[in-house]
Structure 1
């Protein structure tokens, strides 16, 4: 059903992230979406990206910097008709850097089956 949050929809979005398919990912987002990234310069949120164009640019740059970036051990929960949670382990090796594996989650908000907000968190072990 169109506009309904399902595990299959969340898997489809996550598959786009693992394929590095920026256009495919953004096809699930509303035009004026928001992505609150896991880190960034501005307290308390870190970095907040607004709109599909900015999010697409950030994702494209990230996939160039971390060409093997992938999400594994993915689990999803549907909270209600407008919210969901995804838990995963993100792995990759940045160009010229060390491999990483971080446990993280996304807090998703939807309207009409499209993402309005993605709020990302992950644990960095030092």
Structure 2
């Protein structure tokens, strides 16, 4: 790995996400990058671009805020803990998340995994009675499994 520390690279990615700069994010992404998200696996820059366009269209005013462990790194790998604020369907949302990163020898993202609470997000944005009932039932079943 060159002289650029992984933590600086991750924070540069975060800043590009916060400015919704798809081109900047893609410039930091390897051609054969694999992104794993709760919405699917995206292989290569064309698929990552498709994911980013969809993502920023779905969450308006998207902003990552570093929390907890913040950003830690070892060798070419790093982890970032954050919470997200934004709006979905004109409703304010806030939820925690984690991302893991692997960078190649050219300081490009070779892989990125994005993990966040989709059920909690769904609970924040549903507003019709049927959707609320479905999400509440799923959340209750999850909680019962924990008890």
> Is the CA contact 1:7–1:77 (under 8 Å) kept in the aligned structure 2?
yes
Higher helix share: 2
Partner of residue 100 from structure 2, selected from 97, 107, 112: 107
Runs of 4 or more, structure 1, over 4 Å off, are none
Residues 3, 56 of structure 1: alpha-carbon distance in 2 compared, 3 angstrom cutoff: farther
Partner of residue 54 from structure 1, selected from 44, 47, 58: 47
> Is the CA contact 2:6–2:78 (under 8 Å) kept in the aligned structure 1?
no
The CA RMSD over aligned residues, in Å, is: 1.8
Residues 6, 83 of structure 1: alpha-carbon distance in 2 compared, 3 angstrom cutoff: closer
Q: Secondary structure at the match of 1:104?
A: strand
TM-score relative to the length of structure 2: 0.71
Q: Secondary structure at the match of 1:12?
A: helix
- Report the equivalent of 1:90: 84
1:12-65 per-position Cα deviation (integer Å, ceiling 9, x unaligned): 11100000000101111110101100x23xxxxxx1011111111211122122
> Whole-Å Cα distance in 1 between the matches of residues 26 and 3 of structure 2?
16
- Report the equivalent of 1:34: 34
Aligned length: 117
Moved more, 13-22 or 52-61: 52-61
- Report the equivalent of 2:130: none
Partner of residue 70 from structure 1, selected from 63, 87, 101: 63
- Report the equivalent of 2:9: 9
